[in-house]
Chains A and B, each alone.
Chain A
């Protein structure tokens, strides 16, 4: 009898044990180890020479100009990608939300870049953005517009990286928003028509609030994702020219061999920033998001 009770008590824990083991091994342990490393002047060659230095790594982070440069790059990149993607995917989704064969075709087309590896995409764009022979400048010239230096100038490099990221991600978000739009009951729009609502009013007062949970989800997911951008930067610019596209994760990557303790500390800072942002989003926007 007692044995049976005990079994029942432990069974749920037993059931989730494999998943928990995975989480501990692949999520909790790395995070704890990251925190541990960030407190050391760690020597990768000779572990014995590693030294506990407390918060010195953090003090160094906040005193170095290149950290602030990559932080501001990351913030600009994130803001650019999030705002552009949200606006564009919303516009495209509203345009595609009517179910028709043509729209399904267009939607599939927009979604395709999402299936392709970002490395391939970055390489293709790298080629198109070549200032002298690239396709983009060819088009600009053909239209009589001044050509751009794209990735080669510190002025336009970050903008170019943003452009590629938006282009790659937009199809996925269009898909989410289209699904959200199509789930709105048509009778609500009919009620609005009978209430003499203008098109603009219907969009602001009905459509937008109805899809706000999905928009909020996209906002959070994209902010987190964009803060961690790495692959596009690595392939297209390597952080250059002149650190113009150096982002936080790339900055960590650059410091990985020379100063792993410092890189870890930067990782901890990045984690804090993302946690803080997410928290702020939830606090500020939760009243504007209408979960039904």
Chain B
């Protein structure tokens, strides 16, 4: 059990600052997902927790204790690498056992631990195999077992599922959620896939270019994005955002918040447009509606429209989001919020 804290952490590679003055608190026992586009510094952040690439300045605290001078092997963390980093010359058993041996765990206890863990992850029959004879999914489990067997207080995972096929990825996602429930330890999970983040996280930490954009549980991240970047990173398709045409303010709404109809509805926001594309996905259909003020993606339960047909997009007032000229969210309690709502009402059918 451990909480993790970054205090004014800066990390540079060859004089180039990748992360600057970052503050972050990761709660004890939570499943925290670091998500963001490639190259935004997620791996760098994770490696600072592990101590593999220590911070340039600032401090990293595990359980309130500054670990800057503590070696990776003694921080009580275990890591699952993106490429698994399994020792290729050791058998599965030796791979899992290696950390225990280094920590001077007795032989009897070791054997018992290895066997119970390997049974838990379904590797029991493969203990004496070499990693090269295992499938991708099995290697993934070796990496996982190797981390679990040490009973770490923090689990670090760097895109552990990205090398698996789609079906196995969904299955492993569920297994990891269950594993977290069972162990109750702190999980820090890195991914660039927002679906993975949404489905697994207790808390999502969204990053871009080394800066934390928002730190929130998945539902809040989705419903109340704190800026345009978050709004457009989370969700498929992302939030529709367009210029309001006053003070550089933008408005936005989720594709599924809009109603599409042949006749103008009575929602606050209404807009006439033409269906440009139609993607039929089975349970839902995604339309792209083109109008004078831009193109909008609309997600519908029913498949009522055809390409080139005219339609009205309507969004109720409580589903609208506004972002200021600095791209930050304008909260409903803000005094200007009403004005922007009215401005949008004035543009009906535009």
A117 contacts the other chain (Cβ, under 8 Å)? Answer: no
11 contacting pairs across A/B (C-beta < 8 A): A187-B81, A187-B83, A192-B87, A193-B71, A193-B73, A194-B72, A194-B79, A206-B87, A212-B89, A290-B89, A292-B132
B134 within 8 A of A: no
Within 8 A of A (CB), among B44-98: 50-52, 71-74, 77-79, 81, 83, 85-90, 98
Across-interface contacts of A192 in B (CB, < 8 A): 87, 98
Q: Is B247 an interface residue (CB 8 A)?
A: no
Verify if B265 is at the interface (C-beta below 8 Å from A): no
Q: Quick one: which of B34-51 are within 8 Å of A by CB?
A: 50-51
Per the bound structure, the CA–CA distance linking A198 and B74 in Å amounts to: 12
Which A residues form the contact surface with B (CB < 8 A)? Answer: 185, 187-188, 190-198, 201, 205-206, 209-210, 212, 290, 292
Chain B, residue nearest A190 (CB): B52
> How near does chain B come to A286, taking the closest CB pair, in angstroms?
14
CB–CB B73/A195 < 8 A: yes
B102 at the interface (CB under 8 A from A): yes
What B residues does A190 contact at CB under 8 A? 50, 52, 72, 79, 81, 85
Contact B102 A210 (CB under 8 A): no
Residues of chain B within 8 A of A185, CB atoms compared: 83, 85
B136 CB within 8 Å of chain A: no
Q: Which residues of chain B have C-beta atoms less than 8 A from A205's C-beta?
A: 87, 90, 98
Q: How many A-B residue pairs have CB under 8 A?
A: 67
Distance, CA A191 to CA B146, complexed state (A):
10
A-facing residues in B133-180 (Cβ within 8 Å): 146, 150
Q: Determine if A194 and B98 form an interchain contact, defined as CB atoms under 8 angstroms apart.
A: no
CB contact between A194 and one of B73, B83, B87, B89 (< 8 Å): that residue: B73
B89 touches A191 (CB 8 A): no
A194 and B132 within 8 A (CB): no
With an 8 A cutoff between CB atoms, is B277 at the interface? Answer: no
B103 CB-CB contact with A under 8 Å:
yes
Q: Does B99 contact A (CB under 8 A)?
A: yes
Q: Is the interface of A mostly helix, strand, loop or mixed?
A: helix
Q: Which residues of B contact A196 (CB under 8 A)?
A: 71, 73-74, 99, 102-103
| A191 nearest in chain B by CB position | B85
The verdict on A194 contacting B102 (CB below 8 Å), with A187-B85, A209-B89 known, is no
Determine the chain A residues whose CB is within 8 A of the CB of B89 once the complex forms.
206, 209-210, 212, 290, 292
Contacts of A187 in B (CB 8 A): 81, 83, 85
A194 to B77, Cβ gap below 8 A? yes
Considering the complex of A and B, which 5 residue pairs feature the smallest CB-CB distances, nearest first?
A: A196-B73, A195-B99, A209-B89, A187-B85, A290-B89
Chain A residue contacts of B150, Cβ below 8 A: 195
Number of interface residues of B (CB under 8 A): 25
CA distance A188 to B79 in the complex (A): 12
| A185–B88 alpha-carbon span in the complex (Å) | 11
Which residues of chain A are within 8 angstroms of B72 by Cβ–Cβ distance? 190, 193-194
Task: Give Cα A212–Cα B150 distance, bound, in whole angstroms.
Answer: 29
B60 to chain A, nearest CB (A): 15
- Supposing A190-B81, A191-B81, A292-B132 touch, asked if A197 and B98 sit within 8 A by C-beta, the answer is yes
Contacts beyond the supplied A187-B85, A209-B90, A290-B88: 9 A-B pairs with Cβ under 8 Å: A188-B85, A190-B50, A190-B81, A191-B87, A193-B71, A194-B52, A196-B71, A197-B98, A212-B89
CA of A198 to CA of B102, assembled, Å: 8
Which of A193, A196, A206, A212 has the most chain B CB atoms inside 10 A of its CB? A196
Measured CB to CB, the nearest residue on chain A to B72 is A193
CA A209 – CA B146 in complex, angstroms?
Answer: 19
Which residues of the other chain, A, contact B90 by a CB distance below 8 angstroms? 205, 209
**Chain B neighbourhood of A197, CB < 8 A:** 73, 98, 102
- The distance in angstroms between the C-alpha atoms of A193 and B51, with both chains bound, is 9
B229 to chain A, nearest CB (A): 30
What residue of chain B has the Cβ atom nearest to residue A208's Cβ?
Answer: B89
- Cα A116 to Cα B236 in complex, Å, equals 66
User: Are the CB atoms of A191 and B83 closer together than 8 Å?
Assistant: no
The interface centre, meaning the residue of A187, A190, A194 with most chain B CB atoms within 10 A of its CB, is A194
Given known pairs A193-B71, A196-B73, the reply for A292 and B50 (CB within 8 Å) is no
Bound CA span A212–B88, Å: 12
B79 surroundings in chain A (CB, below 8 A): 190-191, 194
A212 / chain B contacts, CB cutoff of 8 Å: 89
Q: Which of B82-133 contact A (CB under 8 A)?
A: 83, 85-90, 98-99, 102-103, 132
Residues of A within 8 A of B71 (CB): 193, 196
Cβ contacts under 8 Å, B52 to chain A: 190, 193-194
Knowing A190-B52, A292-B132, the reply to whether A195 touches B102 (Cβ < 8 A) is: yes
| Neighbouring A residues of B146 by C-beta, 8 Å | 191, 195
Instruction: Among A188, A194, A198, A292, point to the contact of B78 (Cβ < 8 A).
Output: A194
Contact with A along B177-200 (1 / 0, CB 8 A): 000000000000000000000000
Which residue of the partner chain B has the closest CB to A189?
Answer: B85
Cα–Cα distance between A195 and B77 once the two chains are bound (Å)? 9
Complex CA gap A190/B50 in Å reads: 10
| Residue from B81, B83, B88 within 8 A of A210 (CB atoms) | B88
Which residue of the partner chain B has the closest CB to A198?
B102
Partner of A195, one of B83, B88, B98, B132: B98
Contact partners of A194 in chain B: CB under 8 A? 50, 52, 72-73, 77-79, 99
A288 → B minimal CB distance (Å): 10
Chain A residues closer than 8 Å to B99, beta-carbon distance: 194-196
